[in-house]
Amino acid sequence: MSWFLLALVVFAAAAVIYRFYTTMKQGREVHGADWDAKQIAELRKRGQDPFQPHDVNFFFALPNDNACAVVNRRLEAEGFVVDVKAVPDNKEYPYSLHASKTMRILAPEMTQLSRRFNALAEQNHGRYDGWSSV
């Protein structure tokens, strides 16, 4: 009987952990979409039309030259203008990569770019820090 009870407790704990993990993952995805929509709403508040082309800046924090080169090649192939600067004070991410492109700022496209850029940064052991437009 004690083995059955132990197995039941382990199963219940695993179910709780799985539920917590999936809820957190969904929360991160929703937060990302919210962030892009909030940025676009701020642009509209300032009187900008997101349906017109804007200069959009994208920011990455990267750990080394190799990661910068990989991300740089990928973004330039997609028509972005890229520059990289060393940030020696930042021990975790000593390089900052800035990419810019003139484009329309539409929520579905910006959310898709943010997801793609998050994945690109993670693949290269870096961090995507978002986008901005003046």
Averages of pLDDT over each 10 residues, the chain, 134 residues: 65 50 47 77 89 95 96 97 95 96 94 96 96 88
Given this model, what pLDDT does residue 31 score?
A: 45
Domain ranges of the chain: 1-134
For 110, phi and psi rounded to 5 degrees? -70, -40
Q: What is the pLDDT of residue 72?
A: 97
pLDDT of residue 10: 57
Instruction: For residue 39, give Cα distances in angstroms to 94, 104, 120.
Output: 27, 13, 21
Residue 8 has a pLDDT of: 61
pLDDT of residue 129: 95
Closest CA to 94 of 107, 85, 103: 85
pTM for this predicted structure: 0.73
Q: What is the pLDDT of residue 34?
A: 84
CATH number of 1-134: 3.30.70.970
Between strands 127-133 and 81-86, the pairing is unpaired
pLDDT value at position 2? 77
Residue 130, classified by CB atoms within 10 Å of its CB into exposed (0-12), middle (13-18) or buried (19+), is middle
Q: Specify the pLDDT at position 128.
A: 97
Q: What is the pLDDT of residue 11?
A: 57
What is the CA 26 to chain-centroid distance, rounded? Answer: 14
Give the largest Cα separation in the chain, rounded: 69
- Sign for the CA dihedral angle at 70, 100, 91, 27 comes to negative
